[in-house]
Structure 1
Amino acid sequence: ATRHQAIEVGMVNYLWPSLTILFAILFNGQKTNWLIVPGLLLALVGVCWVLGGDNGLHYDEIINNITTSPLSYFLAFIGAFIWAAYCTVTNKYARGFNGITVFVLLTGASLWVYYFLTPQPEMVFSTPVMIKLISAAFTLGFAYAAWNVGILHGNVTIMAVGSYFTPVLSSA
């Protein structure tokens, strides 16, 4: 995998905010008007522009990268659909229950199963590694918990629109 493939897979994954907005309109009855279409297109162009960087996007390279590593692109695409579906249906079916703890525990368990069933490098436990691990765990745990509270009690469409700033902030 190359740096460009990682950027492209990231762009595929960033379909989830647009899909979340679309699913909220289609399945949750979110009110909208005709401005949603140019708004979504502008947001997608903006994400591609930011993630493309100074070199921009070259569609022939993208097609070549997809054919050489289709699984990565497929998983990113499926991940975008799954996360958008989760964001859309959680409020409707959760009835106030915040299931993010169960979700994170099941995800962690599946990753541990994968780790033990496939050849992996030996784990190294040192003070710097443990500090990074604990920091990442708290940061991600808080972020997912906050996002889920927003899904349950906030406006999913506004959250999805706001999430478009993530690639801008992460590339700064």
Structure 2
Amino acid sequence: MSPALATAIGSLAILSWGLLALFTAATGAIPPFQLNAMCFAIGGALGLAVMIAQPHRRAALRQSWRVYAFGIGGLFGFHALFFAALKLAPPAEATLINYLWPLLIVLFSGLLPDERLRSHHCIGAVIGFGGVVVLSGGDSGGDLGQHWPGYLCAMGSALFWSGYSVLSRRFTSVPTDAVTGFCIGASLLGIVTHLAFETTIWPEDTVQWAAVLALGLGPVGAAFYAWDIGCKRGDIRLLGVGAYSAPVISTFTLILAGFAQASMTLWVACFLIVAGALVASQDKLRRRPAGAR
């Protein structure tokens, strides 16, 4: 598979994640760990269905404990924090903070072998974090103290996913089919943590059940397989740049669906976060990625 094709496949995950916040907000009061368990069970079932149809793929599940610890920890940690953020803070603001992860991917990738951080990477980081400052100063609830746990969870989810995406380069020999095992493991971990810390709340209506199913099939399902291919075989920094279409898609859809209100603060923060990524990634914008046609 060429780097260009792998990057294109990874981009499909970005489009799917543009709807992640909308689907999560539509799940209502389902607790974060329970939602993790439900969605990853669906995502794992997708992979198992492929393995039933193509038995030779099952060999991908035979991985070391280190691989499973990395994969399960990355998927579970990111989504537990993200789901918690959207339950504890206004969804649009929490989502924008979470979408610092593409910028963090650009910064962290500068620490990889044969890469280095440059001045525009640092300038972009300052601009992007300026968006977070704007959000915190214009908190939609009028009380930052009320929502800071959600914002902290959103920042944690950004750190989790950017770290997972960059460190996945160290596991390039692990086949994408192993993501099936990661999803199943994350679902089981979600069940354990849910039973230990939460009270079960099932979806109240068809809309909430449909939102859970959509999450499991798309942003918390097929998107992971696509992202794994993109990160391991494509241009990870170009994917980091492209990922900044996701917060724009997410903000628009949340507003259109009535889960957020349009405001100058929201759009200024969105602009700063997107602009920060573009500045940090200007070297990728000036030249085509290796393998592109």
Query: Kindly tell me: are residues 93 and 83 of structure 1, through their superposed partners in 2, closer, same or farther at Cα, counting changes over 3 Å?
Result: same
Counterpart for residue 171 of structure 1: 251
Does the CA contact (< 8 Å) of 2:89 and 2:150 recur in 1?
no
Using the alignment, how far apart are the partners of 1:83 and 1:15 within structure 2? 10
Does the CA contact (< 8 Å) of 2:111 and 2:117 recur in 1?
no
Letter of the structure 2 residue corresponding to residue 13 of structure 1:
N
2:108 corresponds to 1:30 = no
Using the alignment, how far apart are the partners of 1:38 and 1:74 within structure 2? 23
Counterpart for residue 152 of structure 2: 74
Letter of the structure 1 residue corresponding to residue 190 of structure 2:
L
Does the CA contact (< 8 Å) of 1:150 and 1:156 recur in 2?
yes
Does the CA contact (< 8 Å) of 2:101 and 2:161 recur in 1?
yes
Counterpart for residue 84 of structure 1: 162
Shift of 1:142: 1.4
Consecutive unaligned residues of structure 1, counting only runs of 5 or more, are 50-55
Counterpart for residue 41 of structure 2: none
Using the alignment, how far apart are the partners of 1:97 and 1:161 within structure 2? 25
2:228 corresponds to 1:143 = no
Indicate the RMSD between aligned Cα atoms, in angstroms: 3.5
Shift of 1:171: 2.9
Letter of the structure 2 residue corresponding to residue 101 of structure 1:
T
Using the alignment, how far apart are the partners of 2:212 and 2:167 within structure 1? 31
Using the alignment, how far apart are the partners of 1:5 and 1:133 within structure 2? 19
Using the alignment, how far apart are the partners of 1:157 and 1:84 within structure 2? 11
Does the CA contact (< 8 Å) of 1:12 and 1:77 recur in 2?
yes
Does the CA contact (< 8 Å) of 1:43 and 1:164 recur in 2?
no
Residues 50-97 of structure 1, C-alpha deviation per residue, up to 9 Å, x if partnerless?
xxxxxx8561648942x3243322222222111111111101234243
Q: Relative to structure 2, which stretch is displaced further, 25-34 or 107-116? A: 25-34
Does the CA contact (< 8 Å) of 1:20 and 1:85 recur in 2?
yes
Of the three residues 127, 137, 148, the one matched with 1:59 is 137
Shift of 1:40: 4.6
Q: Relative to structure 2, which stretch is displaced further, 106-115 or 29-38? A: 29-38
Consecutive unaligned residues of structure 2, counting only runs of 5 or more, are 1-85, 253-293
Counterpart for residue 26 of structure 2: none
Query: Kindly tell me: are residues 150 and 112 of structure 1, through their superposed partners in 2, closer, same or farther at Cα, counting changes over 3 Å?
Result: same
Q: Relative to structure 2, which stretch is displaced further, 30-39 or 71-80? A: 30-39
- Give the number of aligned pairs: 163
Percentage identity across paired residues of the two chains? 20
Of the three residues 175, 183, 186, the one matched with 1:104 is 183
3-state secondary structure, aligned to 2:112: helix
Using the alignment, how far apart are the partners of 1:44 and 1:88 within structure 2? 20
Using the alignment, how far apart are the partners of 1:42 and 1:114 within structure 2? 37
Using the alignment, how far apart are the partners of 1:97 and 1:125 within structure 2? 38
Query: Kindly tell me: are residues 78 and 170 of structure 1, through their superposed partners in 2, closer, same or farther at Cα, counting changes over 3 Å?
Result: closer
Shift of 1:3: 9.7
Using the alignment, how far apart are the partners of 2:186 and 2:87 within structure 1? 26
Does the CA contact (< 8 Å) of 2:93 and 2:135 recur in 1?
no
TM-score by length of 1: 0.72
TM-score by length of 2: 0.46
2:171 corresponds to 1:93 = yes
Letter of the structure 2 residue corresponding to residue 84 of structure 1:
S
Residues 103-137 of structure 1, C-alpha deviation per residue, up to 9 Å, x if partnerless?
322222222234434222245686x7665544432
